[in-house]
Every structure is written in C-alpha cells, then in structure tokens.
A and B are shown apart, each in its own frame.
Chain A
C-alpha cells in the first residue's frame, strides 16, 4: 500500500497560535519593556559611585583662620615701670607677624601661671624654665627685645627638621667598617648612654612625640668609596663630596622595617684599622676638627677613631661614648626642631628650658594646623576635580572630625599649649587619614570609546529588536485604529 497523504495538510496559521493573538503578543513585548525600564534604577544604582557631599564651606572658612597665641611676659624687680610698654612695642616690631600676641606687664598686675618672667640681674643673661634673668636697663632694651623675640620665635633651619610625627623610631647603630682588620669596637653600653644622655630630652619632649628606640652593632660595613689618603701619613680624609654618599645604603641595614613610623638614624662609625685616623676634610681639603655630620631629616653620624694604643677588639671606651652620645643628643634636638637658646644667654645645659619647649610646641602646632587646613582644602579640590572619585561615609566623618579638632584648637590656643598641639596633631592625622582613605581611589579613566565598546555589544543586540518590534507593534495598532474609525464612519 502506497503511503496515503492525509486529506488536509494541517499547517497551522501562525496568526492562530495562542501567543500570536494580538493581546498576548503585545503583553509579551510590553513585559520585556517593563523589565527593562524597571531595571534602569538598579543599573543606575549599581554603576554609580557613592559621592557624599563634604563640608566644603567649613573647609573654606577654615582657610582664612590663623592660629594666634597670647603670650604674657611679666617684668619682675624692675623699677622703671615705663620699660614694659617700650619693650612690648619693640618685640611687636620684631615678631609681630608670627602669630604671637605678646603683652608685657609689670609685676604688680595680675600674674598668671603660664606667663614668662623676666627679672633684672646685674650682668649675666640666664634662662631657666620660663624665666629669664637679664641686665635690664633702658640702654639694653633693644637687645633684650632681640633675645626675647629669639626665645619666643627661634630661627631654625626647617630644612633639617624632620616632618612632625606623633611617633618616631630612633635607630642607633655601631658600625665597624671592618672588624676583621682588628682593633674593632665590638660592644657598647648603649642602655647606659641612652638613659644618661637621651632620656631627659625624650622625657621633656614626651608632650610632642612618643619614641621607640632600637640599636644594633655591625662588624662589617664597607664604604662604597675609598677615602683619600692624606699626605705625610696623617691618616685618611672624607671630602664634603664623600660625606653626601657616605651612607652605603645598598650594603648597610640600618633599621628594621617593623612599623611605618619615621626613623631617625644615629651612627657611630668606626673606621677600619687600616684607615685610621679618618678625618672630615673641609672644602679646602684640610682636616677639620669636626668628626660629626648631620643628614637633614635623616639622622646623624659620628666618626670615632679608637686610640692607636688599642691592641685588640674591645668595648666602647666610656668617655668616648659620652662624647658620641652628647653629639647624638644635639643632633636629635636639631632633627626634632628644638632651637638653641640665643647666643649670650646661659642655661642649665642638661634640660630644655620652658622657652625652647614652648617655642617648639607653638611651631609644631602652627605647622600641623596649616598642613591640616591645606590637606582638607586638597581633599575638597580633588574630589571636585576628579569626577569619579568615591567619597564614603568614613571620609566625610574624618573630614568633619578634623574640622572639629581645628575648631577646638583655636579655643584652646589661649589656655594650653599641650592641648593646642594635640588637637592640631589630631586634626592633621584625621585629615591625612581622610586623604589617604583606601576607598578614595578614583576609578580608572575610560575614554568614551571604551564605554561604547563595552556597552554596544551588550545592549545594542538586545535593544534594537526590542525597539523595532515595539515600533512595528505601535504602527500596527495605529493602523487598526484608523481602519476601525474608517469603518465606523
């Protein structure tokens, strides 16, 4: 039997399919559009960057403010009452623009505890704590004004001073250039030297910084160059040029890297027995009397030549260690920005005077507050400038707290220097933390082509059929409506 075809081929009319009924088809197309439109807010939310607004106006109003410290100087035992007004005038001429409001009073006036005192003495000038003895006469008044100005606002070389940090690490290293050559210094009484020479200083600076101390002894620390040999066997010399490359950082390990605190290095360098005495030459090439030098913001170095009668390796001679550490102490003070008292004024040399400490506190507070203000301004500026930089809640919080600390600082400037410094340091560390917030890394810059290239293959292929079908459907609907209207008419 041949195969019999059915009578009617039942190819179904597409328009009779249930999903091709007009109503269902339009429903399906509309549902695509509903999903697409409903997804737009989610897409927007997930691709946009969180940029909270920063207290911009507060930051800008901070910029105009300057920290001002009221300073009161009381004259004691001085008969000529008219001197105080003249002295105040002279001091004002000298340091008027430095943020200090100096007032000079006579003793009979109300006496506050924080005030500095100046008392008359016949011939010596002596500073102790917040007191100055001085031969006060009307003839010496300008010199006294100079001295007081220098005590209140000392001139320091800011190039040498390390950047303020609430914590420092001090790394002491005894470096033997070559212990194998004999006559090396193999040990030193470091804890004794530190407690004798440095602890008093560190204690008096405890209001400013916390210190961590580490020390080490090394037996082989070659120089990266050969010191020149001096004529007539007078030893060896380091030229000023050599000093700049003295630190052989490629081969010396001078400090551990356990923390991110800034490190100040102090090195006692013992030249190899075959290169003694090692001297520092001046620019004319002649040996200078100095055996120490300072690398600004980095640390200090002392070259110590052991006495030639030394036969074998030994302990650091205590007297030499004393002089080495008193040098380290001076270098530490320079690096931390402690100014010397003016020439001609004597002090009890073992401790810092209140004058020096206060001047440092004021200086650091001024530096910190200026830097905090500047950092805050930079944050606002950069966030403004780089459009896809995220600004999260923690950044905004840090900026606000920093501003609050700055506000508090202005009010406490007249009452307590320690509080002022701490608030300025807080303001700076908060502002820096806001600036360095890891979340603030701007998204990478993508040119417009990149965006098209990413979005086109994704969306164009999906959107074009959608738009096209929607357009066709709408046209069909409108035609139908016109036909219906035509029929009705």
Chain B
C-alpha cells in the first residue's frame, strides 16, 4: 500500500506545482505597467494586421483585415511599414463569384482587394510563431525586410487582429491558438527592447476584451469588440457572395474611419464614443490604464496615420507645426461630446479584474477536482 500512497503524493505535488506557478504568473501580470509619462513623440507609424482565419466561410475575417489595411494605407502608413498576415484564400477561392475581389459590403461597392495589395504572411505562414517572431523581432537573418517589424523607440504601432476566439485565446487557422499571455509577453519584450513608443491594439473576435486583459507593459491602448462570454457578430450577408462579408464591430469602426483623412484631428475618445453596443450587438471595451495620455488628446492619426512632425528649412524649427495647425470645421457628429463615458469604463475594468480573480479560483478548484477524481479512480480499481 505504501507504494501507491507515495505515487498519489507524487501526483498531488505535481499538480500543485503547476497550479502554483500558474497563480504566480497571474499575480505578476498585474504588478507591472506603471505608465511612463510621454506625449506622442513618435516619428514613424507601423501596422500589424492579422487575420487568423482561413477557408471560404471566414470570408468576413479576410474582409475585416483588408478593410483595415485599406484604411491605414489611405491614412498614410506606407506598405513597407505594414505587416499584413492573411490566409488570402478568399479572393481567388473557387467559390468566389467575383474572382480577384473581396468586398466588405453587401452592395459590393468597394473592392478591398484592389490592385495594390501586399500580403506579407500568406496562407500557412499565418501562424502563432510567425506573429510572435514579427512582434519580438526574433527572426532568422535571412528573413526579408518586408516581413520584419523594423520599429524603434519612436514608433507607434497599430495591431489589429481578427478571427475566431474565446476566453483569452484567438484561434489560428484551425491549427493552434494564441493566448492573451503570449501577446502580453511579446509586448513586454518589445517594450524592454524599446521597439515601440505606443501601441494601439484592436481586436475583433468573440470575447475579444479578454485578449487584452493580460497586458502589463506601459503605453498600450487596447480596444476589443466584445466582453467576456459575449460573441461578436457578423454584419451582413451578400446574396451573391453567399457568406457574411464583414463583422459588425469592424464595420462600424471602418465606417467611422471613412470620415477621417490624413490630417483629421479626430481623437481616440471620439472613436470610442462612436461605439454603439446596440448596433454592434456586443459591448466593445477599452483599456486605458496602461496608456499615459488622455484619450481626447490622442489623434487617431497618431496610430493610423503617417508622419507627425516636419521641420521646414535648414535650422528653422517648425516641429511644433501640429500645434499651430488651423482647426478644421467641427464635424457634425462630434456635436455631442461623449467623452464622459470614461469613468464607467474604469469601473468595468476593476470589475473585470475581480472577475478574473474569481475565474482563477474556479480554475484552481477544477484542477484539484481533477486530481481528486484521478486519485479516487486509482483507489477504486486498486481495492476492487
């Protein structure tokens, strides 16, 4: 009997070790992230756009990513600064009635695939490993320039992800998953190596807000399409294409972006105020606790645009040009200042963290239950 008892003890201690290290990690994630105060002093913008789905029925995810691609390009990020990861099996799919085109609206007004698309990671290259390598910069020396995120301490990065996901994970092409911890760790490594000035993280998937809940590095602004236990929904079908063509959240974000041009003064606060849970059918979230600037001073073009500073002439400093710009006519939809949505969001945030603790407790309990069940099984068969 002694042998089986010691075996059980071994199993218990093994499970305990795993549960303990898990708990420790979760604790660590909330310790870091005191934001260092800075105004936007970036000199270049980068975008990482990830569509993690493939196959025809996920047409809408490809359309999501291509819609974002079109928008950042239109707002002035050069192709050399955009990393587009796309399964890219929609445009030339045998089921596509409109070969070589991807549309994001039922009327098929705008061909997103167009004539000038540069997909950097295509098809089976869209993997968790490749995404993490792009972010952390850990590449083989042979990887070409176009597949690298060559950012520095003056870079603002826009990270957009879309696909099928769940609580704290995003599925990559039915093969593997990336977890919220993986992205959080990658961002921390980028911060340590000074690979960014600020990051704007946007994700459209089910339970999307859980994906940014694990971030702990400073200067990250994050937003997602739906909170925990909520699905994100597609927007509309096109009868001729036969599948949904875009997701609701991305649709409304893109619709908002269409009103913006390269020199617009719209801020992140305006964008977040434009979220309408009734239209989106889920509750989009925003995480600002890691971000040091007030949202109503953060221009959307700080992340999705081109250059921020220019110096005219030789020696004559005109770097303050952005401050002396003449303001545009105020656009009609910004008549109602909706910035006061911020405080309730913070409440949500703390509530989410409380919930997180609850979830972790539940997980521990489940792990222990598993161990007990195993022990009971061994005991039962042994005595029989």
Interface residues of A (CB under 8 A from B): 157, 159-160, 163, 224-225, 240-247, 249-250, 257-260, 262, 280, 282-283, 288-290, 292-298, 327, 330-331, 340, 371, 374-375, 378, 381-382, 385-387, 432, 435-442, 444-449, 451-452, 456, 460, 464-465, 467-468, 470-472, 474-475
Contacts and interface: CB of A to CB of B under 8 A. Distances in A.
Nearest to A435: B193
Interface residues of B, number: 82
A105 B101 CA distance: 76
A331 B311 CA distance: 10
Contact of A472 (B44, B153, B382): B382
Interface in B268-284: none
Contacts of B25: 387
A436 B150 CA distance: 12
A159 B43 contact: yes
Contacts of A447: 22, 179, 363
Nearest to A463: B378
A442 B189 CA distance: 11
B366 interface: yes
11 contacts: A159-B154, A224-B262, A240-B324, A243-B312, A244-B307, A250-B73, A283-B321, A292-B312, A293-B310, A294-B311, A297-B154
Interface in B105-155: 116, 128-129, 132-133, 136-140, 144-146, 148, 150, 152-154
Given A159-B319, A243-B321, A244-B263, A438 B140 contact: yes
Contacts of B140: 438
B43 A444 contact: no
Interface stretch (B54-62, B180-188, B200-208, B243-251): B180-188
B132 to A, nearest CB: 6
Nearest to A475: B1
Contacts of A245: 76, 262-263, 305-307
Nearest to B41: A159
B79 interface: yes
A440 B138 contact: yes
B378 A464 contact: yes
A257 B146 CA distance: 7
B344 interface: no
A290 B312 contact: yes
Contacts of B35: none
A136 to B, nearest CB: 28
B309 interface: yes
A297 B140 CA distance: 26
B50 to A, nearest CB: 16
Contact of A247 (B43, B152, B307, B363): B307
Contacts of A249: 76-81, 306
Interface string B186-227: 001100111000000000000000000000000000000000
A438 B139 contact: yes
Nearest to A431: B193
Given A249-B80, A260-B145, A444-B179, A296 B309 contact: yes
Contact of B309 (A159, A331, A378): A159
Given A258-B145, A456-B374, 6 more contacts: A163-B152, A249-B78, A288-B313, A290-B312, A449-B367, A451-B18
A244 B381 contact: no
User: Which of A157, A340, A442: most chain B CB closer than 10 A?
Assistant: A442
Contacts of B144: 257
A160 B315 CA distance: 11
Contacts of A468: 378, 381-382, 384
A464 B3 contact: no
B21 interface: yes
Interface in B325-384: 325, 363, 366-367, 370, 374, 377-378, 381-382, 384
Nearest to A386: B185
Contacts of B73: 250
B13 interface: no
B38 interface: no
A157 B311 CA distance: 11
Given A290-B313, A448-B22, A436 B138 contact: yes
B314 interface: yes
A260 B150 contact: yes
User: Which of B73, B81, B312: most chain A CB closer than 10 A?
Assistant: B312
A244 B192 contact: no
Given A240-B318, A440-B138, A294 B310 contact: yes
